């Protein structure tokens, strides 16, 4: 408790005793004092002291020098090289001064959530032997005018004070979610946001090379396009480093790091797991290894087996299994729907089906887990049309077997429309290279419908070859609720050479 508050309370008690001794009712004075105390306690100044710049907040945000090292961060080799080069400017001051290089004031880390931006900032502090002070953009947002700007000043002052106390010559200030306070100013933003951003720009402009404590500001965002241009110009955030989703090699490295302290069975293949987790972030891979260990513990196994990782992949991708019960008719329709996806996926990308399951997870009543194979970042029209066919295959299978469709294909249609949009936007459609704003929506919708109709027709025709496969796979799937990729492929190859039996789409 503040010394001034303690004195005020003591004085108040003395006044009450004195008034009681004189025979005066102290209640009105107590009510008046309570109102004054409330106004004082909830004033902007006090709010700011209780916030980021207050005593309790300061304890939470100071982490001194983190112990995280760059070699403990899996993948991101290019991003780490870029960051280390920038950090060397902070370490080798004399060398950069001899070349007349001005110090870097800010480094912006951009990329999807869970890719390790905060870990990179902590590793930067360890690499440069700097104190580390962190805050998130949301901590600066307050209803009181001027509080955010005051907290920015406190943040920079605290960093310098902590560095001097620890005997360090540099400090790193890390602001996560900087887009909260650094968004584009277009006249409609709240005055408090503008004041906070202006104060941050002022503090960064005040960073000088000859200061006893050199400050480096690092920030993270997954919405770089939303940031104000004043933040992005040279002299503020000089370096923009992309921390992207890991590729297969990086995923295997991340998995290796997170399984070092876990008992793995002989059948565990991290290379296969890395191949099946395309699009996973570092955070998702960490969660995957943790969930696999939990599955092993549930079964009282002494080692984590490959099947536990397979179950964990499903959970991270789709969510935990649900207790949702379906009728036999719905169960059969779901099985037909998922088998449609699996058959077309195996047709366009042989060896891509990892598992067909009828176990409800999240909002899905069933699912097909695909093995993406080699990571792909560029797509031709054929690649995108193949993806569309896989999306439409569930509805096409229902049309083939039942003569009608259900609402179960709603999400499939959304994905298919996204692929069609990519075809048109990339200039791969018959419309050629276009500007979306110069083309009427009716014309674009007409082209999209044409592509979708053609893909659905081809998908339906191909599924017609596999009526007998539907029957055999349904028997297994409805009994076991899970059909492995290898077992599915054995059955698929038996019917792949059957003559085509064309059924017209209704």
- The residues annotated as belonging to the active site are 338
Q: Are 488 and 341 in contact (CB under 8 A)?
A: no
**What is the helix (H) or strand (E) element at residue 441, kind and residue range?**
helix 441-463
The whole-angstrom distance between residue 498's C-alpha and the CA centroid of its chain comes to 45
Position of tokens 């076991």? 480
Distance CA(304)–CA(289), nearest Å, equals 9
Longest dimension (CA), the chain: 110
- Secondary structure letter of residue 104 according to DSSP: P
Distance CA(105)–CA(179), nearest Å, equals 18
Distance CA(156)–CA(266), nearest Å, equals 52
b/e map of 60-98 (b: 16 or more CB within 10 Å)? ebbeebbebebeebbbbeebbebbeebbebbbebeebee
Q: What does 156-216 look like in DSSP terms, one character per residue?
A: HHHHHHHHHHHT-SEEEEEEESGGGTSB---S-S-HHHHHHHHHHHHHHHT--TTSSSEEE
**SS3 per residue for 253-294:** HHHHHHCCCCCECCCCCHHHHHHHCCCCCHHHHHHHHHHHHH
End-to-end CA separation in angstroms for the chain: 77
């Amino acid at each position: 408790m503040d010394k001034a508050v303690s004195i005020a309370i003591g004085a108040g008690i003395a006044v009450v005793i004195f008034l009681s001794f004189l025979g005066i009712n102290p209640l009105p004075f107590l009510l008046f004092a309570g109102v004054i105390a409330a106004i004082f306690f909830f004033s902007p100044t006090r709010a700011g002291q209780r916030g980021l710049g207050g005593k309790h907040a300061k304890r939470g945000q100071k982490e001194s020098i983190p112990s995280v090292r760059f070699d403990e961060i899996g993948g991101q080799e290019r991003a780490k090289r870029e960051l280390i080069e920038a950090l060397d400017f902070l370490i080798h001051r004399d060398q950069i001064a001899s070349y007349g290089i001005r110090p870097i004031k800010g480094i912006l880390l951009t990329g999807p959530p869970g890719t390790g931006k905060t870990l990179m900032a902590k590793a930067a502090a360890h690499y440069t032997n700097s104190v580390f002070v962190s805050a998130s953009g949301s901590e600066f947002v307050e209803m009181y005018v001027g509080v955010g700007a005051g907290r920015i000043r406190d943040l920079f002052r605290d960093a310098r004070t902590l560095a001097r106390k620890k005997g360090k010559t540099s400090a790193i200030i890390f602001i996560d979610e900087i887009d909260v306070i650094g968004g584009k100013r277009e006249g409609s933003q709240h005055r408090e946001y503008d004041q906070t951003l202006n104060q941050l720009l002022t503090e960064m402009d005040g960073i000088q090379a000859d200061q006893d404590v050199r400050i480096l500001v690092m920030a993270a965002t997954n919405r770089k396009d939303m940031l104000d241009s004043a933040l992005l110009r040279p002299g503020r955030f000089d370096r923009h480093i992309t921390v992207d989703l890991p590729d297969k090699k990086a995923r295997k490295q991340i998995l290796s790091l997170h399984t070092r302290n876990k008992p793995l069975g002989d059948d565990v293949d991290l290379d296969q797991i890395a191949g099946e987790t395309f699009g996973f972030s570092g955070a998702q891979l960490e969660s995957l290894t943790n969930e696999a260990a939990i599955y092993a513990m549930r079964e009282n196994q002494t080692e984590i087996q490959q099947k536990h990782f397979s179950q964990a992949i499903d959970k991270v991708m789709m969510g935990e299994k649900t207790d949702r019960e379906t009728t036999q008719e719905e169960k059969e329709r779901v099985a037909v729907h998922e088998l449609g996806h699996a058959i077309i996926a195996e047709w366009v990308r042989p060896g891509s089906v990892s598992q067909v399951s009828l176990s409800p997870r999240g909002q899905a009543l069933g699912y097909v887990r695909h093995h993406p194979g080699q990571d792909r970042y560029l797509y031709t029209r054929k690649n995108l049309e193949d993806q569309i066919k896989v999306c439409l295959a569930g509805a096409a299978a229902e049309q083939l077997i039942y003569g009608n469709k259900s609402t179960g294909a709603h999400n499939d249609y959304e994905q298919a429309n996204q692929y069609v949009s990519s075809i048109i936007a990339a200039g791969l459609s018959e419309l050629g290279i276009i500007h979306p704003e110069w083309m009427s929506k009716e014309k674009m919708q007409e082209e999209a419908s044409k592509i979708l109709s053609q893909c659905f027709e081809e998908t339906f025709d191909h599924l017609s070859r596999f009526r007998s496969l539907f029957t055999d796979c349904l028997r297994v799937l409805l009994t076991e609720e899970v059909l492995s990729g290898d077992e599915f492929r054995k059955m698929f190859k038996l019917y792949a050479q059957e003559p085509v039996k064309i059924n017209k789409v209704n």
